[in-house]
Amino acid sequence: MFITFEGIDGSGKTTQIKLLQDYIESCGNHTVIIREPGGTAFSELIRDILLNKDVEINPVSELLLFEAARANLTEQVIIPALKNGFYVLCDRFYDSTTAYQGYGRELNLEEVLNCHKIATFGIKPDLTFYLKLSLEESLERSAHKNPDRMERAGREFFLRVLEGFDAIAASEPERFVIIDATGDIEATHRKIVSFIDMKSHNK
């Protein structure tokens, strides 16, 4: 099963992925956790470029770099892991590109979706948890951080990203589970586990 987590900075994706991994492994299954951009030597190098605050990148180059990193990760890690029956848990996947580059950078949505097709070799998540947080809460939670290149984009950009996540989640209700990210960690984890159990039983 291929499970992705989406949401803006500070939504707790990383914590929830780790908790879910522990749960899935405690049920006797194998898991792989990956984050995007990254997860292979090539994709981690691209990540360094994308997040480097001293590098100027235009929106099209940014889109193509995220997709290049994704193509490598998909081919080298995700597809083989799924073939071997692993649960693949991914911190962000192509929905982030739709939200950040499509909505945030205002690139043509149809072209962005076509890029996903190329970069993913047709692979789609079975389930996507969208950990929803307002921009104010996100800024509050990440105030201490030294912002990377993406985090330096302005408020208007992040409002468009949020609008994007809402639109994507609404357009694929059977894949998306929207979870209020302001709740406590344990309660959020229990909600996520209940969806995983439901999905596994329906398979």
Q: Where are the alpha helices (DSSP H) in 106-154?
A: 109-120, 135-141
Q: How far is the CB of 7 from ligand TYD (least distance, A)?
A: 8
Structure tokens at 151: 């985090």
Residue 69 near residue 43 (C-beta atoms within 8 A)? yes
Of 28 and 154, which CB lies nearer to ligand TYD in the complex structure? 154
How far is 69 from 56, CA to CA, in rounded Å?
Answer: 18
Is 37 one of the binding residues for ligand TYD (CB under 6 A)? yes
Other CB atoms within 10 Å distance of the CB of residue 96: 27
Among 72, 96, 128, 188, binds ligand TYD (CB under 6 A): 96
Is 97 one of the binding residues for ligand TYD (CB under 6 A)? yes
How far is 9 from 27, CA to CA, in rounded Å?
Answer: 30
Of 171 and 194, which CB lies nearer to ligand TYD in the complex structure? 171
Site map for ligand TYD, 131-160, x if CB under 6 A? -------------------xx---------
Is 35 one of the binding residues for ligand TYD (CB under 6 A)? yes
Q: How far is CA 189 from the centre of its chain?
A: 17
Q: Which of 127, 129, 136, 124 minimizes the C-alpha distance to 189?
A: 129
Is 36 one of the binding residues for ligand TYD (CB under 6 A)? yes
Site residues (CB under 6 A) for ligand TYD? 9, 35-37, 51, 66, 91-92, 96-97, 100-101, 150-151
